[in-house]
């Protein structure tokens, strides 16, 4: 009898977001390919690479269209992270976040995970910051996402509602 441990499935918008999430979550993560889904019998797996090695390897192999040779998901003891390519993963209605939450599906609101473009523009062009300051702001996306997930869990609300609440709090703080 095969015993399966439940894992959280994370579907990122694109490979780079999936790699960033793997870097932010507890690991270690292993790169998986299509043939890893049904491993060949009799093969023992060697000790896996570190999270950093997985993220670096995934960066180097996901620039082009996926092939059987490239990672198509990252896996740890707790998480399976995979991705779409392009803007294929998006909610049709704001209420979809509530429906996902009711089913125990963790959703990362689009405007949180896609904030990198605006941060890049605002940091370099509008605020005149250097690349190091911009990169520090970009790393904050993961912190904000963790804050969204934690607030949603604490209040028993969808991640979309939690993200909106954080936006309202930040805007209110900026007005004072």
Our CA angle for 136, 140, 144, nearest 5°, is 170
The residue among 174 and 43 whose pLDDT is bigger is: 174
Q: Where are the domains of the chain?
A: 8-83, 95-175
73: tokens are 């998901």
Which band of pLDDT confidence, cut at 50, 70 and 90, is reported for residue 102? confident
Q: Which fold has domain 95-175?
A: Rossmann fold (3.40.50)
pLDDT at 63: 45
Q: What is the pLDDT of residue 71?
A: 63
CA–CA distance, 88 with 104 (Å, rounded to integer): 21
DSSP of 22-59, one letter per residue? HHHSSS--EEE-GGGSSPPTTPPPPPPPPHHHHHHHHH
Residue 17 pLDDT > 60: yes
Q: Which residue has the higher pLDDT, 57 or 113?
A: 113
Is residue 73 classed as helix, strand or coil in its secondary structure?
strand
Report pLDDT digits (tens) over 47-62: 566 656 655 665 554 4
The pLDDT value recorded for residue 151 is 94
Burial of residue 152, with CB atoms counted within 10 A of its CB: 0-12 exposed, 13-18 middle, 19 or more buried: buried
The residue that leads in pLDDT, 86 or 36, is: 36
Prediction pTM value: 0.52
Q: Are 79 and 8 in contact (CB under 8 A)?
A: yes
Rounded Cα distance between 75 and 7, Å, is 9
Q: Average pLDDT, whole number, for the chain? A: 76
Rounded mean pLDDT, 93-113: 78
In angstroms, rounded to a whole number, what is the distance separating the alpha carbons of residues 112 and 110? 5
Segment 91-95 long-range contacts (CB within 8 Å, at least 24 positions apart): 91/160, 94/160
Mean pLDDT over 129-134 rounds to 89
Q: Are 75 and 23 in contact (CB under 8 A)?
A: no
């Amino acid at each position: 009898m095969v015993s399966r441990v439940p894992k959280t499935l994370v579907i990122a918008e694109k490979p780079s977001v999936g790699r960033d999430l793997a870097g932010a979550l507890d690991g270690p993560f292993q790169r998986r390919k299509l043939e890893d889904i049904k491993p060949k019998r009799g093969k023992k797996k060697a000790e896996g690479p570190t999270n950093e090695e997985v993220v670096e390897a995934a960066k180097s192999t996901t620039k082009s269209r996926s092939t059987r040779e490239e990672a198509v998901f990252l896996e740890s003891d707790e998480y399976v992270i995979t991705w779409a390519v392009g803007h294929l993963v998006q909610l049709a209605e704001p209420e979809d976040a509530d429906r996902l939450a009711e089913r125990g599906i963790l959703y990362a609101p689009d405007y949180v995970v896609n904030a990198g473009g605006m941060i890049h523009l605002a940091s370099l062009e509008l605020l005149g910051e250097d690349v190091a300051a911009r990169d520090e702001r970009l790393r904050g996306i993961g912190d904000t996402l963790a804050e969204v997930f934690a607030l949603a869990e604490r209040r028993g609300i969808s991640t979309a509602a939690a993200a909106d609440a954080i936006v309202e709090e930040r805007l209110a703080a900026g007005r004072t």
